[in-house]
Structure 1
Amino acid sequence: MKIDDIAKIASVSKSAVSLALNGKPGVSQETRERILRIAEENGYTLKPFSKGQNNNKSKIFRFVACTHTGIITEQYHSQSFFMELINNIDQSMKSKGYSLIISSINVNSLEQEIVNLEKQQRSSGIILLGTNLTEEQIKTVADTQPNLIVLDTCYETLDINFILMNNVFGAYQAGEYLIKLGHKEIGYVESSYSMYNFDMRKKGFQKAILENNLTIKPEHTFQMSPTDISVHEEFKESILELKGNLPTAIFCESDYMAISVIKSLNELNINVPVDLSVIGFDNIVESQIVSPELTTIHVKKDKIAALAVEKLIREIDNKEDDKMKIFIDTELIERKSCIKKENA
């Protein structure tokens, strides 16, 4: 059986079959499972590497993202943050003579899917997007492929490599910046989904607030989705209810939320930054397209990618056993969505 035959049976394109068989994003989980089932039922399997191409010589790394409802979706690879991260990883690998396979798996069937992927095409190592994964889930991946780097979360008690942004420091930078601009009535926009990164950002921001003897009023705390950019009606209603009690500045746990805040405030004829300063976190591409351009915290995705690749190669080529927890400091990017508070 050929790819053409599978495509006809599944009523999909040949490219969709190729993406599914190679564990790459671009097809839904339902379509992927249907294609893999048809392939298995008809005796089609990907060519495994020969024994001469063992784990340490196959020159292939796998980037794995586990999809979650509302957090890491099937379309995660089209989101600016992850597109840039994956591109940086790919470029770092190519410069070292490795190639990259991108695999999306459902978090609810993580163990079986990661085993199947590694059976189909054994990798030299895995870079796992660990967003909101549990300790047990991460250990499951490590049991299948011990050459593992986890990004976007951290469990200090696991003997596994973690490389991620310094969320606490970044949010602390944002808080200090707003306070230095003279803002004392500061709002906070948090994610409607709990996850490690956002929890750490709240910790850092609150530290800056407390050190300056300030507080965030309960009515100045808002919630919204962390992954889509849109006008949020609930946020608009909350702002209208405040009437003359608006904060003068708002910190948002991600740029997606910050841009949504700007769009929502614009519909209420509240001017950013004249009436209300807004600061985000991540420095995604869209942060320079929104009007006004977004002041934000820059995550050094290129540095994270380079360190992840370098560490994996050291484990493979030099048999390096020492595990590392590496935090990459962030950088404040000043643009036009924040201004000094008058009479400060």
Structure 2
Amino acid sequence: MKMEDIAKLANVSKSAVSLAFSGKPGIGPDTRERILQVAHEAGYSPKSKTITASRSDKSLLFLVCTNSGIVLEEYYQQPFFKELIQFIEERCRQKGYSLIFSTVDVEFFQRDIQMVAEEKRSAGTIVLGTNLTREQISDIHAKLPNLIVLDTCFDTLPVQFIQINNVMGAYQAGAYLCDMGHTSIGYIASNVRIHNFEERKRGFLAALMERGLKIPEAQMLAVAPTILTSQEDLNRQLTVYLESGKTLPTAWFCECDYIAISAMKTMSELGIRVPQDTSIIGFDNITESVIVTPELTTIHVEKERMAVLAVDLLTDTIEQGTQVTAKITVDTKFVERNSCAAPATFVPKGELTEQA
């Protein structure tokens, strides 16, 4: 039996079968599981499996747990994760390692993690921890000890973490808006809560509090965090806000670029101009932030630096047998573009002096 036969039995393409056997992204977990089940029932054993096993000492596993909230089944198409994976693959090649992929469905978390552990296809594992709880990461670590977790952090776990300095990035955004003269500021949050978003909220509110400002409850909105188009739900929230007679905030902070881009498109449908009527700041600096009009002011996440640190820290642990764990926080950079402007009524102090 050949790979083509498995493709016909599973009613998929040959390339989909190849992706299922290699563990690489490109197909959903349901399709992958169906292909593997068909192959098992047909008694087919892919040749690549033996090769992978014999080279497991020079392979790293990139493990992703998907759900319907933040990390989607097509995570490899989500801009932030896509860029991060590309940098990880590049660093693995530079270090002489291959990178293989495995996806775990959060709904079947314990079963799938056990299967990954039993396969023993790699010398170490990089876990995308964006959407994972402390307990889930602890379970993964118990089964996959050579582990580093990206994009989250739990201080009390003896696990290696590399995370974004979310507090710093959001603080930078808050300070920037205040320094531009904004005093009426809105906040558009994700309606799915994770570690990163909670930290961003903390940093942004801290910047405002230091300057004597607060965000009224009515100016705290929440929407889906993985949609780049306009959102009916946000349209409804903004419409209700405006119809109540309240004045539109002169600026908004959005917890990620997805939300910021979606907000700009939704506001455009309502006749709200950015930045003339209101300013918008995002977070992550995904590629799409320079494609939209106006280009998005945002917080740059050092995805390449995080990838390099993850691969280097993991390979050093594998090759040198290092037992000491580390938790690394990578700082952000503020990126000023065209989606922000001073409020229409704001006059800089220097100009006030000149007018006097």
Q: What TM-score results when the alignment is normalised by the length of structure 2? A: 0.92
Contact 1:147 1:315 in 2 (8 A): yes
By how many angstroms is 1:219 displaced? 1.0
The 2-side partners of 1:52 and 1:5 are apart by 24
The 2-side partners of 1:139 and 1:44 are apart by 34
Q: 1:51 to 1:90 in 2, by over 3 A?
A: closer
Match of 1:202 in 2: 201
Match of 2:18 in 1: 18
Aligned partner of residue 216 in structure 1, secondary structure: coil
Aligned partner of residue 251 in structure 1, secondary structure: strand
Q: 1:49 to 1:135 in 2, by over 3 A?
A: farther
By how many angstroms is 1:110 displaced? 2.6
Equivalenced residues, count: 342
Match of 1:155 in 2: 154
Alignment of 1:164-175 (within 5 A): 164-175=163-174
Contact 1:45 1:120 in 2 (8 A): no
By how many angstroms is 1:96 displaced? 0.6
The 1-side partners of 2:290 and 2:55 are apart by 45
More helix by share: 2
By how many angstroms is 1:247 displaced? 0.5
Match of 2:187 in 1: 188
By how many angstroms is 1:140 displaced? 2.2
Contact 2:53 2:121 in 1 (8 A): no
Aligned partner of residue 30 in structure 2, secondary structure: helix
Contact 1:64 1:102 in 2 (8 A): yes
Alignment of 1:111-190 (within 5 A): 111-120=110-119, 122-190=121-189
The 2-side partners of 1:52 and 1:195 are apart by 35
Aligned partner of residue 274 in structure 1, secondary structure: coil
Contact 1:258 1:279 in 2 (8 A): yes
Aligned partner of residue 31 in structure 1, secondary structure: helix
Match of 2:350 in 1: none
- Residue 266 of structure 2 is aligned to residue 267 of structure 1: no
Letter in 1 for 2:326: M
Letter in 1 for 2:290: Q
Bigger Cα displacement from structure 2, 172-181 vs 43-52: 43-52
Where does the alignment leave 5 or more consecutive residues of structure 2 unmatched?
A: 348-356
Contact 2:260 2:280 in 1 (8 A): yes
- Residue 216 of structure 2 is aligned to residue 213 of structure 1: no
- Residue 226 of structure 2 is aligned to residue 223 of structure 1: no
Q: 1:181 to 1:4 in 2, by over 3 A?
A: same
The 2-side partners of 1:50 and 1:71 are apart by 34
The 2-side partners of 1:273 and 1:253 are apart by 18
Contact 1:64 1:104 in 2 (8 A): yes
The 1-side partners of 2:7 and 2:275 are apart by 53
Letter in 2 for 1:253: E
Contact 1:81 1:284 in 2 (8 A): yes
Contact 1:46 1:121 in 2 (8 A): no
By how many angstroms is 1:53 displaced? 4.2
Where does the alignment leave 5 or more consecutive residues of structure 1 unmatched?
A: none
Match of 1:80 in 2: 79
Letter in 1 for 2:322: E
- Percent identity, aligned pairs only, is 48
Contact 1:60 1:125 in 2 (8 A): yes
